[in-house]
Amino acid sequence: MPRSPDFLGATGIGVSDLAASTAFYKAALGMTVLRTVKIDYMDEVILVHESRSALVLMHWTDGSPRNYKDVPVKLVFYVTDPFAAAERIKQAGGVMTREPAPLESMGGGLVGLGKDLDGYVVELLQAPEPRVPSDRIAAAVA
């Protein structure tokens, strides 16, 4: 089957504090700002990982009521060191609801779950080429 030229370019989430959420994703997950967009009803910050994937943080400015908190959305990030990423999430003001640990249904790969400043679930998956020392993996199993 030929490869389709179509792809998902970005995922957008509504956030209650655009500056704070931008700082969170930069500090916790190493994203960088690609561009900012101002529309008459919304401000956006587009964050990227080396232009591979994008996250659009959206904040409505038109005064319409919005629910930004604990929306059932999960953002999945492949990270080389889930333990370090979990620490950065906590240091940036997020919380970890499941510290990284091997998950059998994921082939024994490390998986962690956290939440960002608005309560969006941030899943940390061990990147295909793990760089986590084996003693840290062993400690997570113990």
Which pair of tokens denotes residue 31? 């994203």
Q: How many domains is the chain built from? A: 1
Which pair of tokens denotes residue 97? 């609801």
Q: What is the mean pLDDT of residues 77-83?
A: 93
* Amino acid letter, 73: V
Give the CA count within 13 Å in the CB-facing half-sphere of 71. Answer: 13
Q: Give, for 10, the enclosing helix (H) or strand (E).
A: strand 10-14
| Cβ–Cβ < 8 Å for 44, 22 | no
Give the model's pLDDT for residue 131. Answer: 59
Q: What is the pTM of this model?
A: 0.84
> Which CATH number fits the domain that encloses residue 63?
3.10.180.10
If one counts every other C-beta atom within 10 angstroms of the C-beta of residue 44, the result is 17
Q: Answer whether residue 124 shows pLDDT above 80.
A: yes
> Residue 2 domain-assigned?
no
Residues of the domain holding 63? 10-141
